[in-house]
Structure 1
Amino acid sequence: MTERTETLLSVLAELKRRRGEAVSGNELAASLGISRTAVWKHIHTLRSRGYLIESLPKKGYRLTALSRTLRPEEVLPLLQTRFLGRSYDYHESIGSTNDRAMDLARHGAPHGTTVVAEEQTAGRGRLRRPWHSPKGMGLYFSMILRPDMPPRHGPESTLVTALALARCLRAQWALDARIKWPNDVLISGKKVAGILTEMQSDPDRIQFLVVGVGVNVLHREEDLPAEALYPATSVALEWERVRKEADAPWDISRAHVLAAFLNTMEELYERYVEKGLASLRDDLKNLSAVLGRWVCIQAAERTLEGTARDLTDRGGLVVETPDGRRETVWVGDILHLRHAQAAQE
């Protein structure tokens, strides 16, 4: 983070702390050790980024409305991380955050670099399926990770990411978020997020991973794609139902969801790197949306049907077929998901 960015964040933090009150330019300048001209320039920058700041004669500046963007000044103050998101690459619009992150990683971007966009014009999921990425509605971001591991462990980061997101949504907003193996997060059986992991490696070591995440956050019903493999939902739609029952205040913002996820992700990722995916296996099973249910999986060029019974220590899905055999699937798409008893009737 540059010194200018740090000062900008400090100006904004003071305006937020005194929101509704006027703060004089002299006071800001003295507390931050900068000139009044520098204060004015930072105010001008904040206004250009969507903050409503009044200039009151002989009183100073008053913040009257916050920006609703994912700019670094909204997210970085909420982070409790050491490395994740500390290098923050922000875009108002981009083709794909994964493509940008891959390029940055090839040019030496540090571990934990996070690429964030307000919208994607060419967002994609697994098998290059399009990911609907309307401006200002969701989270579209990609993380660069550099684990010292053999390439066979690369796909495990997808499950770690899904677990972090499910945990975050459950802890912060009491939503029943669950993992649809291997790369989706569901709430009430509807898809709220998808994850795309890409890798560059040597024969024996991962050079870097790029883990892309798309989360529907503020989407209304009409903002969600009408035709999809799974019905879609958003954090806001699900929280509205919970909020009515709990009589809780409205407090969903994309910046808070992103920061809460990154804080949770760093903790889980460090545990994973130190102890392996087996250390997260019980958590993954407890938050699974598929175990005990009938699944139809497209795996390579074949389709497998049966009841999902278990997860292995390396994240493979164990499926029991109708004839009683058990097969472990490492890569695939769950095309259908039903209660086991209903599927067999």
Structure 2
Amino acid sequence: MTGRSSTCLAILAELKRRCHETVSGNELAAALGISRTAVWKHIRTLQSRGYQIESQRKRGYRLKAWSHSLRPEEVIPLLRTRCFGRTYEYHETIESTNDRAMDLARTGAPHGTVVVAEEQTAGRGRLRRPWVSLRGLGLYLSVILRPELPPRYGHETTLTASLALARSLRDLYGLPARIKWPNDILISGKKVAGILTEMHSDPDRIQFVVVGVGVNVLHSSMDLPSDTLYPATSLALERERLGAQPSGEEPWAWSRPHVLAGFLNTWEELDEIYMAQGLQALREDLIAVSAVIGKVVRVQVSERILEGVARDLTDRGALVLDMEGGRRETVWVGDILHLREVQQDAPEPSSS
């Protein structure tokens, strides 16, 4: 962050702290060691970014309304992280945050770099399915990770990100988010978020991983696509339907910046556990919030379609299926096309 950006952020933080007061230009100038003219220029910058700041002659400045954007000055003050989001690139519009993050990673962007956009014109999910990225309604971001691991561990990053997103929605907002293995987040059986992981590696080690995340936050039912494999929903729709309340009483706690910061804070905590202890340390948590364990699932694995009862996850995050005839399959990479409850009046496949 440049010195000018950090000064602008400091002025905004003070106006937020004293949001019901008028703060004089002299106070701001003295506190930050800059001139009153410099304060005025920063105020103009904040106003251009959507902040409603009232300027009163000979009295000072008063913040009347927050911006609802994902600009760094809205997100970074909410972070408790050491790495995640500390390098933060913001775009009004971009084709794909994943493509931009891949370019940044190739030129040495550090671990934890976040690329975020208000909208994407070519957003995508797994298997290059389109991800509708309407302006100002969702979270569209990509995070660069540099785990010092062999390439065979790359898929585990998807699971840690999925767990972080599900846990943050459950803990911060009381929403019953669950993971449709390995990369989708469901609430009450409807998809609210998806994760796309792309990796660049040498034969012996991962160079970097880019994790793209899309979350439907403020979408109404009219904003959501109807031609998807799973019905779609948003945090706003589920909040209304379930009457969920965020922890704390801040009226802005449902804002996109708070959802994003909560996710990044949770993810860094889990990533540190993962890097120190491996995925087995998170296995029980993954099972606890799974949308598929104990269900009959149909999984596409390359050219094959497998159907069985999702019985377990391995310590490395692979999905264990009990098939007909007592056969057991371990699926490392696949796409779940369908899931349903086990019929209680029919015998389940036996475990081996």
- TM-score using structure 2 length: 0.95
Residue number in structure 2 paired with 1:125: 125
SS for the counterpart of 2:6 is helix
Structure 1 245/45 Cα, relative in aligned 2: closer, same or farther at 3 Å?
closer
Change (3 A) 1:196 1:342: farther
Aligned residue for 1:324?
326
CA RMSD across the alignment: 1.6
Q: Aligned residue pairs: how many?
A: 345
- Distance in 1 (alpha carbons) for counterparts of 2:113 and 2:121: 21
Shift of 1:150: 0.2
Q: In the alignment, which residue of structure 2 is the partner of 1:95?
A: 95
Residue equivalent to 1:256:
258
User: In the alignment, is the contact (CA less than 8 A) between 2:88 and 2:113 conserved in 1?
Assistant: yes
Identity value in percent:
69
User: d(CA) in 2 for partners of 1:276 and 1:150?
Assistant: 13
- Aligned equivalents of 2:236, 2:214: Cα separation in 1: 15
| Mapped partners of 1:109, 1:309: distance in 2 | 40
Alignment of 1:145 onto 2:145: yes
The aligned residue for residue 5 of structure 1 is 5
Deviation at 1:342, TM superposition (A): 6.8
Q: Which runs of 4+ in 1 moved over 4 A?
A: 342-345
Quote the Cα distance in structure 2 between the aligned partners of 1:199 and 1:240. Answer: 37
In structure 1, stretches of 5+ residues that fail to align are: none
- 1:186 maps to a residue whose letter is L
AA at the equivalent of 2:317: G
- Which residue of structure 2 lines up, in the alignment, with residue 84 of structure 1? 84
Work out whether residues 116 and 141 of structure 2, in 8 Å CA contact, stay in contact via their aligned partners in 1: yes
Tell me which residue corresponds to 1:215. 215
Structure-to-structure mapping, 1:173-184, within 5 angstroms: 173-184=173-184
Secondary structure of 1:119's aligned partner = strand
Deviation at 1:322, TM superposition (A): 2.0
CA contact (8 A) 1:159 1:315 kept: yes
Structure 2: how far apart are the matches of 1:344 and 1:259?
46
1:313 aligns with 2:315: yes
Q: How far 1:87 sits from its partner (Å)? A: 0.1
**Change in 2 beyond 3 A, CA 1:58/1:309:** same
If the length of structure 1 is used for normalisation, what is the TM-score? 0.97
**Kept after mapping to 2: 8 A contact 1:74/1:255:** yes
CA contact (8 A) 2:173 2:245 kept: no
Asked if 2 retains the 8 angstrom alpha-carbon contact of 1:174 and 1:242, the reply is: no
CA deviation vs aligned residue, 1:194-225 (integer Å, no higher than 9, x gap): 00000000000000000000000111111111
Distance (whole Å) between structure 2 residues aligned to residue 242 and residue 30 of structure 1:
48
Amino acid at match of 2:167: R
* Aligned pairs for 1:30-109 within 5 A: 30-109=30-109
Map of 2:350 onto structure 1: none
Amino acid at match of 2:266: T
Rounded to whole Å, the distance in 1 between the matches of 2:128 and 2:173 is 31
Match of 2:170?
Answer: 170
C-alpha deviation, 1:244, in angstroms:
6.7
